[in-house]
Structure 1
């Protein structure tokens, strides 16, 4: 059976949240918050359901990507609408097979077709450069949590419309939907199988 890329629907929610939890567990912190971020975002107006894609392998959901709306606040007061993707999740055991790349390329093309102007993300530049992302700071876009003279290679941008970010100088701030309360995450996590939280080398928190 060929892999299928399709839109997520409400019947997939629980399976996709578990997939996201499995993909991020103990990666960036003991446990993870990404599955709760996804769960909560679906109820927010910034969520873009038309870009919430997944991949099925032999009928099993093995990868998922979420998009939301954001903005760049320009120094001149202008607000530039952009979109953001993440979390992007691939089930352990299926990682390294190109599913993440397939979802990113597919969804970026769909986002372009829908008329969105640019995508801003945070992540590993060595990975995301292959999709046409470039350093946001070099384009005059700065991360709100850091001084402008500080390097911020993790903040990247990709134009979907040529010239959309021309002469833009401004600040990107993580949308509030990505900021979660740890007690709420712990309560939500009770709905899932028990997993051990581990403090591991390389975690961010």
Structure 2
């Protein structure tokens, strides 16, 4: 059900939000993996965009975009990894995740990034323009329909073959 009559604010995450973000990721993903990824990305100074969705003073959603070394035909591409993105169980399917994604992509564009890469649900992310076909040209630890790319700058991923190198923070 879409958001109706609920004030959801999307804002930049702050250090004061860290505990609530960790609790949200534990609840959404059922474990510590994403919590660890977020902590390591922050510790390695790789975070480019980190936003939270706030409803009635509580954090109900979180998204993080981090620097992702990417090349296409040998040239560097200023790219980001979208991971993780979480919405509190019980608040899902209300448009919060979509608002977070759109706001994060807008911020990535504003900051001058050219592309975003995600490993996510193939039935969800294409509605925002992500494409498995576009990502299929990128050598990576991932492949298939869940590995998708989005150009923030048209033609940023044009070429024959490229690669992404996930930072150690992802634990791959």
Classify the TM-score, shorter chain: 0.7 to 0.9
**Counterpart of 1:46?**
46
Matched, 1:79 2:76: yes
Contact 2:41 2:47 in 1 (8 A): yes
Q: 2:101 aligns with which of 96, 99, 104?
A: 104
Rounded to whole Å, the distance in 1 between the matches of 2:109 and 2:74 is 26
Matched, 1:154 2:146: yes
Q: Normalising by structure 1, report the TM-score.
A: 0.74
Select the structure that is richer in strand. 2
Rounded to whole Å, the distance in 1 between the matches of 2:22 and 2:133 is 30
**Counterpart of 2:161?**
169
Rounded to whole Å, the distance in 2 between the matches of 1:46 and 1:136 is 26
Deviation, structure 1 residue 61: 0.6
Query: CA RMSD for the aligned pairs?
Result: 2.0
Number of matched pairs:
167
Contact 1:136 1:142 in 2 (8 A): no
The gaps in structure 2 that reach 5 residues or longer are 1-5
Deviation, structure 1 residue 135: 1.3
The gaps in structure 1 that reach 5 residues or longer are 26-30, 181-205
Rounded to whole Å, the distance in 1 between the matches of 2:51 and 2:103 is 9
